[in-house]
Amino acid sequence: MDDVKTEIEALREEIRKHDHLYYVEAAPRISDAAYDRLFQRLVELEEAQPELRTPDSPTQRVGADPVDFLPTVRHVVPMLSLDSTQDPDQVRRFHERIGRAIGGEPAFLLEPKLDGISIELVYRDGVLDRAVTRGNGIEGEGVTENVRTIPSVPLRLRGEAPSLLAVRGEILMRLSTFEALNEGLMEGGSEPYANPRNATSGAIRQLDPKVTASRPLECLAFDILEARGATFHTDTECVEALQGWGFLLPERIERVTEVDDILAYHRRYDEDRDTLDYEIDGIVIKLDDLDDRADLGSTSHHPRWALAYKFEPRKEITRIDRIGIQVGRTGVLTPVALLRPVEVGGVTVSRATLHNREELERKDVREGDRVRIQRAGDVIPQVVEVVPDDRERSEPFRMPDACPNCGTPVETRGPFTLCPNRFGCTAQLKGRIVHFASRGGLDIEGLGEETAALLVDREMVREPADLFHLDVEAVEALPGFAEKSARKLVEAIEKRRETELRRFLFGLGIPEVGATVARDLANHFQDLDTLLEADREALEAVRGIGPTMSELIVEFLSDEQNRHAIDRLAAEMKALTVDAPTGGPLEGQTFVFTGSLETMTRREARKRVEALGARATSSVSGETDVVVAGPGAGSKRKKAEELGVEILDEAAFLELLDQIAAETGTREEAGGP
Ligand code: IVH
């Protein structure tokens, strides 16, 4: 027994060493086959004696069962954000300001600013205890089991470990992984991710760790939030400690004193940006001395001792081969530049939206033009401007007179061009099917653009309700499908016969009804029939719905053809569920946030109150109950004063949240699943 235990421990040590060499040092010392033998031996020993299995064993990276939701977890130390700039003069001023404040020549550590998902890792007695996303900085989502699957995250620290260690890092997906993932998604008929950050976020927030494990991620550590029982004097020492514990760190960390060295570092990274296999969006400048950091302190949003110096968005020049027209689900014709494929920051782009007729005229973009395009992180770039060359230009582009899909004469509405053939135009139908099945709608896996196009073109689907009558054999006959994938699609659709009313409403594509309004409508009316019978007055009783929206909704719902499609769909559904009224402590209250907040963004603040049952809107009216006003609040604050609406500053707002938390005990869920 003791022999087995000794062997198990020796194997774990050995495997951890090779994991570190492979994933962190990128310098493997044994063959894959030799590694597999070690691993297999450990698996066998642990299987024979499961009582010897421990959570920090290398075999336990993917072990946990899927969960129903991700728990909310409070951070050990609030995770602040960074102040940022694109302006070198601001960097000079930052450098001077710090010099003045500490009364000497400061030294700084320079690092790349990684464009991924921020994460807090907590180790207790050297063993990974939990991983939490940044969330609103105070609390985030517990994603421990998912993060365990990332090979560069140590499950056990190397060497001597503090009793409690909280580390901050960034989770990334390599560009090569990202492109492969998107290709796979598109082949399977699903929507691709817009950028590696979204793909990372999607991977890390999975409910099933096995899905996360199938998407290779990396974690780079860059900050010690807390290390109980260890003392450091400089960030340089922290970096060394992190390396010693076995973390992967950002590349090319440098220590400098001169501002010119900071600017040069920024320039070098900017130049090399395209050769990296992951996205960075700038550099981070951090004061090295930790005592000085403590003296400078933080605002509630960011530390005063650090600054992110961001890059300009990437731009490349390419040529427009052709301008195409896309017809969307609402009938709007969008001009799209089909580009000679060009690499922009490691991602190949071949199309860019030209928005609408007015935009097109304003920029005077024509077929054959040389253009500068810009990608700010997303795969879909923008055309910035035409870059003149000696070639003779083609005629100015004109929007077509007829829908390129169905030939119906178009109508013009403001800057937009529309195909009025709502039910006969297959392009619009394809768009409606994709929207119906999208992540915010019924969320039908595997039903993306390509599949929707096939189903419509082969006349297997003439309206959304037809989806529920697809049979496996017919789908199997479609190009790109086999029996298994056909069955999967039909099952994915079948599963959605039971769905939330808010998703159903979103999926209908009612004008102006996005996810939020759909949820409000669902919560207010509680069932579809009551909503369908609602007149404008009844609709306007829903908070946030005014005369313009009520008119559009009534118009849509009373349209005979729409109504027929909705009735047919509703007949297919087994259940349209509604979240039980939250009974949240802020139920029925409407909040407006204005001015800048320090501890969180306005968006985060909105989410917080919504989670407690309140509504958050953007303008102050007679319906507003509370205005939270930070510095810089202007007209909204004034209006609130005029109307006698309660005004809270940020501190009072935080106090309110704390009070609710104390009363309901909602904030104290600790630990991962
Ligand atoms: S230091 C107190 N270093 O940037 C803040 N942050 O805008 C300490 N980030 O979400 C953070 N690369 O997760 C630091 N090398 C780096 C970073 C980095 C990326 C992220 C960070 C945060 C965001 C702030």
From the list 113, 286, 430, 488, the catalytic residue is: 113
Question: What mean pLDDT, rounded, does the chain reach?
Answer: 90
Residue 585 lies in a domain: no
pLDDT of residue 673: 31
Same domain, 168 and 251: yes
pLDDT of residue 210: 92
pLDDT of residue 170: 97
Same domain, 240 and 270: yes
113 as an active site residue: the answer is yes
Q: What is the atom index within ligand 1 of the atom nearest the CA of 170? A: 13
Ligand 1 neighbours by CB, cut-off 6 Å: 80-82, 111, 113-114, 118, 134, 170, 222-223, 250, 284, 303, 306, 308
Residue 561 Cα to ligand 1 midpoint, Å, equals: 52
pLDDT of residue 77: 86
**Residue of 108, 109, 114 to test ligand 1 pocket, by largest number of atoms within 8 Å of CB:** 114
What would the pLDDT profile of 175-189 be if each residue is shown by its tens digit?
889 989 988 887 777
Q: What is the atom index within ligand 1 of the atom nearest the CA of 298? A: 2
Residue 160 Cα to ligand 1 midpoint, Å, equals: 26
Beta bridge partners of 372: 317, 385
Question: What is the tally of structural domains in the chain?
Answer: 6
Give the confidence band of 412 by pLDDT, cuts at 50, 70, 90.
very high
Distance CA(118)–CA(346), nearest Å, equals: 22
Q: Tell me which residue has its CA closest to atom 2 in ligand 1.
A: 80
pTM for this prediction:
0.67
Q: Which residue has the tokens 């620290």?
A: 157
From 550, 577, 604, the end of a domain falls on 577
What would the pLDDT profile of 123-168 be if each residue is shown by its tens digit?
999 999 999 999 888 889 999 999 999 999 999 999 999 999 999 9
Same domain, 284 and 328: no
pLDDT of residue 107: 97
Domain span including residue 32: 2-62
Residue 130 Cα to ligand 1 midpoint, Å, equals: 19
Residue 39 Cα to ligand 1 midpoint, Å, equals: 35
Q: What are the tokens at 296?
A: 């400078």
What would the pLDDT profile of 305-314 be if each residue is shown by its tens digit?
999 999 988 8
Same domain, 212 and 81: yes
What would the pLDDT profile of 511-556 be if each residue is shown by its tens digit?
989 888 898 899 899 999 999 999 999 999 987 788 999 999 999 9
**Residue of 80, 120, 132, 170 to test ligand 1 pocket, by largest number of atoms within 8 Å of CB:** 170
Q: What are the tokens at 274?
A: 């395209």
Q: What is the atom index within ligand 1 of the atom nearest the CA of 283? A: 15
At 311, is the secondary structure helix, strand, or coil?
A: coil
From 279, 310, 341, the end of a domain falls on 310
Provide the percentage of residues in the chain whose pLDDT is more than 90.
67
Cβ-based burial of 362 (10 A; exposed 0-12, middle 13-18, buried ≥19): exposed
At 163, is the secondary structure helix, strand, or coil?
A: coil
Q: Are 170 and 222 in contact (CB under 8 A)?
A: yes
Q: What is the atom index within ligand 1 of the atom nearest the CA of 302? A: 2
Distance CA(505)–CA(610), nearest Å, equals: 19
Residue 181 lies in a domain: yes
| Lowest pLDDT segment from 185-194, 262-271, 477-486, 555-564 | 185-194
Give residues with Cβ within 8 angstroms of 340, minimum separation 6.
318, 319, 320, 321, 350
Residue 138 Cα to ligand 1 midpoint, Å, equals: 15
Residue 212 lies in a domain: yes
Q: What is the CATH number of the domain that holds 78?
A: 3.30.470.30
Same domain, 300 and 156: yes
Q: In what order do the strands lie in the sheet with 646-648?
A: 615-617, 590-594, 626-629, 646-648
Residue 289 Cα to ligand 1 midpoint, Å, equals: 18
From 310, 333, 354, the end of a domain falls on 310
Same domain, 105 and 237: yes
Q: What is the atom index within ligand 1 of the atom nearest the CA of 169? A: 13
Residue 515: Cβ within 10 Å count: 14
Same domain, 135 and 274: yes
**Number of H helices and number of E strands within the chain?**
24, 24
pLDDT of residue 194: 79
Give residues with Cβ within 8 angstroms of 650, minimum separation 6.
300, 597, 598, 599, 628, 630
Give the confidence band of 655 by pLDDT, cuts at 50, 70, 90.
confident
What would the pLDDT profile of 279-307 be if each residue is shown by its tens digit?
899 999 999 999 999 999 998 889 999 99
Distance CA(461)–CA(429), nearest Å, equals: 9
Residue 421 lies in a domain: no
Q: What is the atom index within ligand 1 of the atom nearest the CA of 79? A: 2
Same domain, 119 and 10: no
Distance CA(539)–CA(577), nearest Å, equals: 20
Residue 583 lies in a domain: no
pLDDT of residue 664: 67
Same domain, 97 and 146: yes
Residue 609 Cα to ligand 1 midpoint, Å, equals: 26
pLDDT at 671 over 50: no
Residue 168 Cα to ligand 1 midpoint, Å, equals: 8
**C-alpha radius of gyration, the chain, whole number:** 28
Residue 217: which H helix or E strand, with range?
none
Q: What is the CATH number of the domain that holds 506?
A: 1.10.150.20
At 666, is the secondary structure helix, strand, or coil?
A: coil
What would the pLDDT profile of 3-25 be if each residue is shown by its tens digit?
899 999 999 999 999 999 999 99
Residue 143 lies in a domain: yes
Residue 106 lies in a domain: yes
Q: Which residue has the higher pLDDT, 615 or 87?
A: 87
Same domain, 245 and 288: yes
Give residues with Cβ within 8 angstroms of 47, minimum separation 6.
none
Residue 627 lies in a domain: yes
Q: What is the CATH number of the domain that holds 386?
A: 2.40.50.140
Distance CA(379)–CA(331), nearest Å, equals: 24
Residue 302 Cα to ligand 1 midpoint, Å, equals: 10
Same domain, 431 and 409: no
What would the pLDDT profile of 43-53 be if each residue is shown by its tens digit?
999 999 999 99
Q: What is the atom index within ligand 1 of the atom nearest the CA of 119? A: 13
Q: What is the atom index within ligand 1 of the atom nearest the CA of 113? A: 12
Q: Tell me which residue has its CA closest to atom 7 in ligand 1.
A: 82
Backbone φ and ψ for 236, nearest 5 degrees, come out as: -55, -45
Residue 152 Cα to ligand 1 midpoint, Å, equals: 18
Same domain, 491 and 510: no
pLDDT of residue 668: 33
Q: What are the tokens at 388?
A: 């003149």
